[in-house]
Chain A
Amino acid sequence: MINLDEDLLSSVIDLAQRLGAEYAEARLHRTKHLGCLSRNGVPEPALIGDAYGIGMRVIHSGALAFSATNDLSKENIKNMVEKAVKKARASSPLLRHKVLLSKEKSIKANWRSEEKKSVDNVDFDDLFGLLKDIDNLIKDGKNDVSFPNRLLASSILLEEKIYMNSNGTIIKSRVPRVGFSSYITTFYKGKITTITIPSGYSQLGESGGWEVIERLEIFDYVEKEAENLSLAVKSEQKPPKEIVDVILGPQVSGIIAHESAGHPGEADRILGREAAQAGESYLKPNDLGIKIGSKEVHVSDDPTIPHSNGFYLYDDEGVPARKRKLIDAGIIREFLHNRATAYEFKISSNGSSRATSYDREPIVRMANTFVEPGDYSLDELFEDVKLGVYIKSFMEWNIDDKRLNQRYVGLEAYLIERGEMKGMVKNPVLEITTPRLWSSVDARSKEVEFVGATCGKGDPMQGIPVWTGGPNMRLRAIRLGER
């Protein structure tokens, strides 16, 4: 555990208030990272990262300032606080809109994610050993497809924080995370393709100790994916040109939940704060209650899911975390808020404020965003599809900065005829507007699956751990493109 110097935080807040700040908060934040990379079974240099410092925010005369340093000497801390207050004051000539915070209860808490096998006892032997075992599973290729290049990565990320604000809140926390990702080059009859496992440049990742590796059933997962994706890269069959039904696998419904419901539901984007970087949203402040999709569309974000990659119980403004129903039966129900956006909407924060490091400002973020499960089995989803495509996983994807115009290009994908899978199709392209996509959903399967991802937002950039997830999800009457 880090040296949790409450006195240091108290002194920061006291000084900020003495200098006239109407609000102050401070966060001692340590991120320790162990990273391993292997290429074709050969280890690259191991990595140890240790970032520890203090970040603080003040509001003075309605102006917000953030300041951070890793020099924790008294003199430098004093300097940091004075600078933050000075910067807030200096903003006043161009402050046309004051920053005010929603009223929240003061909290005293000490929380941590479950950690059965402490990451403190994990070493590079464990991390490289894992990669070696995985590499042994796939190095000989699958289904006549060879894997000449295998770049595998394993990591431990431990986050420890102590947070304090001038409203009397003080919270300590510890969240370890374990992750795996890979890039693999496939070779078949002279054709070279790059894939990732998991697909879509995502990760297998959860919060927890080393027991995460067993819980993820990582060896079975990688072997099965390698098997399926080796078949996918062999396929030359183009997707049908006519209007078809499309079933999206959990990885695809998950990324859609993140991109087309989570991001546009971030209240800071809706208010324009991220306009010059991550963009805005198709949703406007008064769009709660509008219909965006069919009755089958239910999308939530929930930081409190045990073991999740985006797990937390209190956010980085000291607000308790809870599940947020973003879209309920096709209706926009809730946005993601921090205290500043909540004040604008005249509500309480729903605990969405997160920072990746001591030197990053807490901003509105997703945690674990997913399409809720339905009541169909996968077979039932297929049953009445006359002609369709099952896009189980993807690689290329993107979306415009209002979150209206998106594209997902399939990796593992199958043709469906009269309710049955009839071989694979190559790189079907789903390029569709958000209202059309959500309006086309008519059924979801019972099981939800998640993968880990790193979501980018903020300036300076912050890549934050999240889960994306969902069930298999059926869309009616879609025209697909081809790559």
Chain B
Amino acid sequence: MEIIELADLALKEALKLGATDVSSICTKTNENLVRFSNNSITVSKNIKNLELFLYLAKDKKRIMGSSSNPNIEEIKNFTSNLIKACEALSPSPDYTPLPRIETQYLSHGIYDQKLAEDEIDLIEFVESAIDASLRAGADRVSGSLMTSEENLAILTSGNATGQDKRTKILLNVRAFSGDASGHGLSCSSKLENFNPYEAGKEAGEYAKASINPSPWEEGVYDLITLPTVTADIIQHIGSFASAFAVDSGLSFLADKINQKVSVNDFTLRDYGVIEGGLDGRGFDDEGFPTRENVIIEEGVLKTYLHNSTTAKKFNTSSTGNAGIIDPHPWNLVVDPGSVSIDDMIREVKKGVMVTNNWYTRFQNLRSGEYSTIPRDAAFLIENGKIKHPVVGLRISDSLPRQLANIMAISKERRWIEWWEVSIPTLAPSMLIKSVVITKALG
């Protein structure tokens, strides 16, 4: 059966059993992945899944479920069990009817048939990335290359219906030169924009440039975040913009609508569908159309991300970001600035430039106090020039302070999605003043 037929079967079954609200989404995915380390392939993977997601409400009681066993008999059993479990729940005061959307969604076209083919030669791309890294000065190279195709179909009791599909190719390269390392990425929804050689070269060049790090002192520095680091910061801000997070008291953006949270040059948007975007679709989990939302406009917080339930609580409309419980961003985009990275470096008297990071953790979600660890290449900047590579840094700051202290945003931006950044983000480099950088007691 086609996925739209499976979604339809679940919808009809649920309605027949008395559900008043139903959102039925069927997803078919095909992922091909090659992992490599020490210049050699470690494993090749193929993962094929067919999944049914069902949200039901009956008598204001709400339940959702996912099943990876969607054949006709199992869909009937699963739906019936879900209804029985739903009937046993208590009515929810937060119940909100699913939106009525008389819309037939069409595929948005951010799709490349070449990436959907199982026969695509990933080995050749990996070879190109490794070769470029080695030529640039690395002595060993690791990483992963993934292609994915996703087909979705939705039917809701609110009359939304439609299908969508998307593809992407993600390459993550880490090159080593002795103990020094560099990182490179190439992320694209279409093969024509994918460049494994450049990603490998970038990783290799950073690894080479990071050899022989010199000592540094902990303190307050101006910080240049290259796009991979910016994307990590931005994905957290995007998640903090969820109205569910705000309503649960778990966001530093609470009570800040229409308030200045950043500088005039900073605008953050979320798109359900955008050319080049690595995620997203034309409809959300409630069947509501996704769209462009300006979360922060010229430094002012303009909206949270909503589903129908949070929208009702906040007396506004859905932004097309459901998640049944927790609204979430699809593709985050930071508006470009007007400077180059070289311009930024020239502006800095005492600073550091970080190319990659990981392990971002919060002490207090409401204040936004957090720390994160730069990894791979990082450089000390003095008097407008890169002085030398540094290691062992920790950015120990707070998101509201950093948002308010953005001094410059680069013209150039890149799509970022990798192991540490799960929300696709079109990210520039940023210069942030007066950031606390700490180091470990040795």
Q: Which residues of A contact B (CB under 8 A)?
A: 37, 39, 42-53, 63-71, 76, 80, 83-84, 87-88, 90-91, 93-97, 99, 123-125, 128, 148-149, 151, 183, 185, 192-194, 201, 271-277, 279, 359, 361, 395-401, 404-407, 409, 427, 429, 431-433, 435-436, 459-461, 478-479, 481, 483
Complex: how many Å from CA A43 to CA B89? 9
Alpha-carbon distance A48/B66, docked complex (angstroms): 6
Given contacts A194-B365, A277-B419, contact A46 B64 (CB under 8 A): yes
Whether B45 contacts A277 by the Cβ 8 Å rule is: no
- Asked if A128 contacts B90 (CB within 8 A), the reply is yes
Q: B359 near A399 (CB under 8 angstroms)?
A: yes
Task: Report A-chain residues with C-beta under 8 Å of the C-beta of B69.
Answer: 50, 52, 70
B324 contacts across to A, CB distance below 8 A: 45
Distance in angstroms between the alpha carbons of A401 and B140 in the assembled complex: 17
> Which chain A residue lies CB-closest to B39?
A96
CA distance A117 to B319 in the complex (A): 44
Chain A proximity of B49: nearest CB distance (Å): 6
Tell whether, in the assembled complex, residue A407 and residue B55 are in contact, meaning their CB atoms are under 8 Å apart.
Answer: no
Interface SS of B by simple majority: strand
Partner pick for A398 among B36, B39, B394, CB 8 A cutoff: B394
A185: B residues at CB distance < 8 A: 248-250, 366
Complex CA gap A167/B278 in Å reads 42
Q: Is the Cβ of A436 less than 8 Å from the Cβ of B42? A: no
Residues of chain A lying within 8 A (CB to CB) of residue B88: 123-125
Residues of B within 8 A of A48 (CB): 63-66, 81-82, 85
Q: A479: which B residues are within 8 A, CB to CB?
A: 441
Given contacts A44-B92, A395-B363, 11 further A-B contacts (CB under 8 A): A45-B63, A47-B64, A66-B45, A67-B47, A71-B50, A124-B89, A192-B367, A273-B142, A431-B441, A459-B144, A483-B363
In the complex, which residues 386-442 of chain B have their Cβ closer than 8 Å to any Cβ of chain A?
392, 394, 396, 419, 438-442
B106 at the interface (CB under 8 A from A): no
8 Å CB contacts to A: which residues of B359-379?
A: 359-367, 369-373, 375
User: Which of B28-74 touch A at CB < 8 Å?
Assistant: 31, 33-51, 55, 62-69
* Interface assignment of B118: CB less than 8 Å from any CB of chain A: yes
Complex interface: chain B residues within 8 A of A429 (CB): 438
- For A192, the chain B residues whose CB sits under 8 A away are 249, 366-367
Is there contact, CB below 8 Å, between B419 and A461?
yes
A127 CB to nearest B CB, Å: 10
CA–CA, A440 and B235, complex, Å: 37
Some 17 contacts from A to B, beta carbons below 8 A apart, are A39-B248, A42-B92, A44-B62, A46-B86, A49-B65, A70-B69, A87-B44, A90-B123, A194-B250, A272-B140, A273-B42, A276-B172, A395-B362, A398-B372, A431-B438, A432-B441, A436-B441
Q: Would A64 and B42 be within 8 Å (CB), given that A69-B49, A400-B375 are in contact?
A: yes
User: Are B362 and A396 in contact, CB atoms less than 8 angstroms apart?
Assistant: yes
Report Cα–Cα, A63/B89, bound state, in Å: 51
B: residues with CB less than 8 A from A are: 31, 33-51, 55, 62-69, 78, 81-82, 85-86, 88-90, 92-94, 118, 123, 126-127, 130, 140, 142-144, 172-174, 176, 247-250, 324-325, 358-367, 369-373, 375, 392, 394, 396, 419, 438-442
Contact B361 A276 (CB under 8 A): no
Q: Are the C-beta atoms of B126 and A94 separated by less than 8 Å?
A: yes
A433 x B44 contact (CB < 8 A)? no
Beta-carbon contact of A401 and B130 below 8 Å: no
- Partner of B44 from the list A63, A148, A481 (CB cut-off 8 Å) is A63
- Asked if B123 contacts A97 (CB within 8 A), the reply is no
**B38 and A398: CB pair below 8 A?**
no
Q: Shortest beta-carbon distance, B390 to chain A, in Å? A: 12
> Are B44 and A88 in touch, CB under 8 angstroms?
yes
Closest to A71 in B: B50
Residues in A with CB closer than 8 Å to B37 are 271-276
B325 touches A431 (CB 8 A): no
Which residues of chain B have C-beta atoms less than 8 A from A427's C-beta?
A: 363
Q: Knowing A88-B44, A398-B394 touch, does A276 contact B371 (C-beta < 8 A)?
A: no
Q: Which residues of A contact B372 (CB under 8 A)?
A: 398
Q: B68 to A53, Cβ gap below 8 A?
A: yes
The answer to whether residues A401 and B358 also contact, given A46-B63, A51-B68 and a CB cut-off of 8 A, is yes
Contact A398 B359 (CB under 8 A): yes
Q: B63 contacts A65, CB within 8 Å?
A: no
Closest to A66 in B: B45
A50: contacting residue among B65, B364, B394, CB under 8 A: B65
8 closest pairs, A vs B, by CB? Answer: A149-B249, A185-B249, A96-B40, A398-B359, A275-B142, A48-B65, A396-B363, A45-B62
